[in-house]
Amino acid sequence: MPRLDRFLSRTLAIKRSDLRLMLARGRIEVDGHRATDSNQVIRPFSEVRCDGRIVQARTAHYVMLNKPKGVVSATRDDVHRTVIDLLDAPWKDELHIVGRLDLNSTGLMLLTNDGRWSRALSLPESKLPKGYRVWVKRTLTSADVEVFRQGLYFGYENITTRPAELRIRGEFEAEVSLLEGRYHQIRRMFAHLGNEVTSIHRFAVGPLMLDAALAPGQSRELKSTELKTLAPWT
């Protein structure tokens, strides 16, 4: 992130020596406060004004989306409708995806234009659990629970998955909690057990639950209280 002097020098094409005089005369404001330090860090969503004129005024957006089946987790796609296509906001093209779901999976997706926030949520060391409801073709057993708890070896990547929690909710229905998101991980783990997944629905990312009022394809911005629930991971 740039310092104030470098930011204004580049943005307004002024000399840094001229900036010192502008600061002394109170002509520069950052986030509603008179700027006095040329070394002040300018963040991506800082509001910067010069003589009352806005130089930078980006707003951070954090969006919860209920992804329907058949929509691709991408910002652009030549074949399928994307999650961005579902949004109705003038700033939607600024957004990127925080944690993907495959084409046939549904449920909670997060989108943002705040790269720092999305990186913090995506880091493996964040150990941010993600909750899924899963339906399969064959009867679930207590032995399956133990296999998930121990982790599974994926030969293609030469890795062993982190321990995952499998909670049986019915003969063919379970909840799965993952601390990672390997390629088609849930489907591959059940395939290892000789079972086929018929449906996956993500209902939680950490403590954040999918809003039950959101129909498939609908979205809304996260509330400040919801952002605070994710604070330990950001």
CB atoms within 10 A of CB 23: 19
**Active-site annotation holds for 102:** yes
- Of 48, 60, 57, 61, nearest in space to 22 by CA: 48
Q: What is the DSSP string of the chain?
A: --BHHHHHHHHH---HHHHHHHHHTT-EEETTEE---TT-B--TT--EEETTEEEE-----EEEEEEPTT-BSSS--SSS-BTGGG---TTGGG-EEES---TT-EEEEEEES-HHHHHHHH-GGG---EEEEEEESS---HHHHHHHHH--EETTTTEEPPP-EEEEEETTEEEEEES---TTHHHHHHHHTT--EEEEEEEEETTEEPPTT--TT-EEEPPHHHHHHTGGG-
Q: Which of 37, 77, 88, 102 is catalytic?
A: 102
List active site positions: 102
